[in-house]
Amino acid sequence: MAIFGNLFGQIFGDSAAELEAQGDYFAGVNNWRRGAEEYRRALQRTSKSSVGFRRLAAKYDDSRLKAFDALVEEIHSHVDVREFTYATEQISLARTLAESDAQREKLDECERRLRGTGRGAAALATSSAPPASGNHGAAAAGFDMPRAESDPAARLDASPAFARTVRPEPTARLDLTPRPAAVVAREPHPDQSFQKILARMPAADVAKRARLGTHYRDAVLAYARGDAARAVELFQRAAEEHPAEKLVHYDLAAALAAAGRTREAQSVYLRIAERDPVDWQPWYEIAQLQWMDGLRDRAIATLEEGLARHPRSGYLVSQWGVLLYKLGQPRQALEKFYEALQLDSFDDAGLYHVVANLHLELGDPERARRGYLKALELHPQSVGTMLDYAEYLVEVKQDPQAALAVLETAFRTLRQHPAPRIQHAYRSYLSSRAHMMLEQREMALLSATRALEENDQAWLEDTLEAQRQAVLAV
């Protein structure tokens, strides 16, 4: 009967009762957004004159309001861990959902926090005191876990970072606008686009993926365009052609997650774990998806289950620390991070960067300094770590000369390697502050002006302009 019911739902659409039950499930685990969506679909299938319409409408209104509040809480959480770009995107989304003045006021408060507690708050433009928040996150990256340039650090990202997945940043939106034939004729061949996406990967990985055929290639290109549904279809074909190739299944799971089919993605990860019991990553990915779906306790339970099978996995332990931090337990998170660093020679530069940020937040600047230096020792080209260390030297140590030396190294690294514009902008901003401390007004003004020209983030604009005005006022 369960199989028949599932097929019936796929062919004719789920009944209102089934959709309401799904909404009740998501509401029961505090996933209000998914709950509101299921209730909305149930209402569409319910006659306004029926007995259950009012009950459904009440559930929908309640879950919709709670979904908005949960989104606001999530925005504050992203600001807390310095995921400013993502917080800006979430505020834009929430603006489309706000219906009352009270809700809009909540979003105004989020924006005030974004401008007031962001790296180098506007108030700091005229003051050398450390920010009240004490949290110095990585430039162009959230605190969650470092989005530093090293591949191991990237696995610790709090957003679903599929380490084996081709995941171009940023993901382009699907463009369905008709274009002239002449324009289409000038577009690169799919093989060229595919090679361009793979260019940042190690040569061995590029060669392996290049041998997986056209279905895999087209799936990667669809994923890069933001067409997750098409990517799922093509990755499924590629998985049928290469059933033993694990990276295809990882990419299929990533596409399923991007398409909002998180349960199916988790099933794929579980199959990977069954086929390869020595691989720790499926448990990491499942926990990420469960956390995104609002299943916080289940996400931690998944990490515990993964550690029962892989007790020496530093990645699983460090991800547990990330979740503890998000739950407002920074000291417990720090303990997990140190525990991770003792496992399997888990000498990860990005994690030392995060440990330094946490020590700074907890009021231990000396250990923070050692953390930054260790991170740079392991990964000398990490611009994010350089910027955070330079900010530490400016704000905590009051040592502008040392900060400028670090920023000069960051400048040379940025010239050699492509990087987000925000890193260029923040490097110039910190240079302006350091020159101001040295009473070098012309250099401070030049750097502040350059920062405004380089910046492409709306949330940072007020801070940069405030710095320029502070220089002009001298």
**Residues 172 and 234 grouped into a single domain:** yes
Residue at which a domain ends, from 225, 243, 260: 260
Residue at which a domain ends, from 260, 290, 316: 260
SS3 44: helix
Could you tell me the pLDDT band of residue 110, with boundaries at 50, 70 and 90?
confident
Q: Is residue 394 part of a domain?
A: no
Task: State both tokens at 414.
Answer: 């940025």
Burial string for 314-323 (b: 16+ CB within 10 Å, else e) reads bbbbbbbbbb
CA distance 339 to 178: 55
Give the DSSP letter string of 48-116: TTSTHHHHHHHHHHHHHHHHHHHHHHHHHHHHHTT-HHHHHHHHHHHHHH--SHHHHHHHHHHHHHHHH
Whether the pLDDT of residue 69 is over 80: the answer is yes
Q: Is residue 37 part of a domain?
A: yes
Q: Is residue 20 part of a domain?
A: yes
**Residues 168 and 95 grouped into a single domain:** no
Residue 314 in contact with residue 308, Cβ under 8 Å?
no
How far is CA 275 from its chain centroid?
29
Greater pLDDT, 367 or 188 = 367
**Residues 182 and 110 grouped into a single domain:** no
pTM: 0.59
The pLDDT tens digits for 392-444 are 999 999 999 999 999 999 999 999 888 888 899 999 999 999 999 999 999 99
Whether the pLDDT of residue 106 is over 90: the answer is no
Greater pLDDT, 50 or 444 = 444
CA distance 309 to 304: 9
- 372, exposed or middle or buried, with CB in 10 Å at 0-12, 13-18, 19+? buried
**Residues 174 and 245 grouped into a single domain:** yes
Residue at which a domain ends, from 245, 260, 275: 260
Whether the pLDDT of residue 283 is over 90: the answer is yes
Mean pLDDT across 443-460: 91
Burial string for 83-121 (b: 16+ CB within 10 Å, else e) reads bbbbbbebbeebeeebeeeebeebbeebbebbbbbbbbb
Q: Is residue 197 part of a domain?
A: yes
Whether the pLDDT of residue 136 is over 70: the answer is no
Greater pLDDT, 430 or 151 = 430
Whether the pLDDT of residue 13 is over 90: the answer is no
Residue 388 in contact with residue 357, Cβ under 8 Å?
yes
The pLDDT tens digits for 153-198 are 333 333 333 233 333 333 333 343 444 443 334 445 666 676 676 6
pLDDT of residue 266: 94
pLDDT of residue 194: 67
Q: Which residue has the tokens 């392991």?
A: 378
Q: Is residue 123 part of a domain?
A: no
Residue 288 corresponds to which amino acid? Q
Structural domains in the chain (count): 2
Q: Is the CA virtual torsion 180, 181, 184, 190 positive or negative? A: positive
Could you tell me the pLDDT band of residue 225, with boundaries at 50, 70 and 90?
confident
Residue 419 in contact with residue 399, Cβ under 8 Å?
no
Q: Is residue 351 part of a domain?
A: no
Residue 445 in contact with residue 431, Cβ under 8 Å?
no
CA distance 208 to 198: 11
CA distance 318 to 341: 8
Whether the pLDDT of residue 119 is over 80: the answer is no
Q: What is the domain extent for residue 9? A: 2-116
Q: Is residue 374 part of a domain?
A: no
Q: Which residue has the tokens 């209104």?
A: 61
